[in-house]
Structure 1
Amino acid sequence: MRVAGAVVVIAVLRGGSGSDLARRFTAAGAAGVLVADQNPGAAEDLAAELDRPGCPVIGVSSDVHLPSDVAALVHTAVEHLGPIDLFCVTGPDGERIVSLDELPDHLDPLAELLALVGDAISEVVPPQRQPVASPSASRTAVR
């Protein structure tokens, strides 16, 4: 995975932190980093701390569970930093880094990215137990 000169997007899920990833990428020579965090103000504070000449860091409040938010942060990253090379999702239980040069040229890049983000989220967040139906719900369903 090439980091030097790469434009990186880091999407932080609730309970996660993008600070370690952002620090690693800026130290490795990324050309720019966009951090998107569900926690209002967290990404903006991190960006203010890490932003420097040669590696601008942008922080936005965003929820990558929402396709419209993913589209908006992709637009913001491309507009301010250039084409995205690496898209990362980090949560309380891990991280996943996707290299966008692996995307097939013939597919809609945003649609494919949305699918990859969904896959990445499922990898870094443990599966939730299925809710057990309450007895009253069972009786209602039988009627």
Structure 2
Amino acid sequence: MRIDLAGKILLVTGSTQGTGARVAEVAAASGAAGITICGRNEAQGKALSAALTDTGCPTLFVAADLADPSAPEHVAATALAHFGRLDLLVNAAGATDRASILDGTVADWERLFALNARAPFFLMQAFVRHLLQRGAPGAIVNILSMNAHCGTPDLAIYAASKGALATLTKNAANAHLADRIRANGINMGWAATPAEHRMQSELLGKGADWQAHAAAGMPLKRMLTVDEVAQLALFLLSDLSGLLTGAIVDLEQAVVGAPSVARDC
């Protein structure tokens, strides 16, 4: 059974690399009629936009730093001005800065909540308002984290921000169920995204081979891939997921509640 996004116009944040970029690529391969990608890296964004457009899926890149309070409205408005409508939204942008109960700062709190909760909220707001004006159905997928359940000690503020977005996902799903606007989330497990590679290898000093050591200690002896996240996101966006809404899917090599060793994710 093939996921089909034929005729759908999609906005994906955090899509110049990693999970967001892979979502955009899989959406283009699944027949999306148009995609808006956004992020801070202009060179990567323009390159991906050109590559996806060359495959036959018109793709717009919008340079934006979602830590800026005005950025969500700008991104949504630019996408709507270019394509005329939006049918699907994926909030994949985020930051994973370390900050524990003991060493977290006001700056940490403001940055993580701005990127991981505030920006997705206002993108959802713009998207839902647009759908209501059109009287059209739509779907939202928010990329969350297994840390939303609790989080490792050094990810206290990050975990709180993803927990906030999980609640907002359910709230949006409930508020707009009768409007045929679905909202679901993915609690993403530990994956070697470009941002995570830089965090582990450079900022945390674990070296270039950190992934091999991490994978060795996992049940399946490998890490989650961004392709697996993208495939699930596309299923949740598509008609194949039916009326599913308000669901938060744990995509990890663990069952919440079962005894396990805490890991980054």
Partner SS, residue 41 of structure 2 = coil
Taking the aligned partners of 1:125 and 1:65, their CA distance within structure 2 comes to 22
- TM-aligned CA distance change 1:62 to 1:56, over 3 Å: same
Displacement of 1:5 in angstroms is 0.7
- TM-aligned CA distance change 1:125 to 1:82, over 3 Å: farther
Displacement of 1:67 in angstroms is 3.5
Show CA shifts across 1:26-80 (max 9, x none). Answer: 1111110010012332211100111148521011221234341111111111111
Structure 2 match to 1:140: none
Runs (4 or more) in structure 1 with deviation over 6 Å come to 101-104
2:156 to 129, 132, 135: 129
Structure with higher strand content: 1
Taking the aligned partners of 2:79 and 2:48, their CA distance within structure 1 comes to 16
**TM-score, normalised to structure 1's length?**
0.60
Q: Which has the higher contact order (CA 8 A, sep 6+)?
A: 1
Partner SS, residue 105 of structure 1 = helix
Taking the aligned partners of 2:17 and 2:147, their CA distance within structure 1 comes to 12
Structure 2 match to 1:84: 86
- TM-aligned CA distance change 1:83 to 1:67, over 3 Å: farther
Structure 1 match to 2:26: 24
1:62 to 45, 61, 64: 64
Structure with higher helix content: 2
In the alignment of these two chains, the number of paired residues is 114
Trace 1:35-114 onto structure 2 (pairs within 5 A): 35-52=37-54, 55-91=57-93, 105=132
Q: Percent identity?
A: 25
Taking the aligned partners of 1:15 and 1:52, their CA distance within structure 2 comes to 18
**CA RMSD after TM alignment:** 3.8
- TM-aligned CA distance change 1:29 to 1:90, over 3 Å: same
Partner SS, residue 58 of structure 1 = strand
Q: Structure 1: which 5+ runs fail to align? A: 107-115, 131-143
Show CA shifts across 1:102-131 (max 9, x none). Answer: 98838xxxxxxxxx89xx36x24846325x
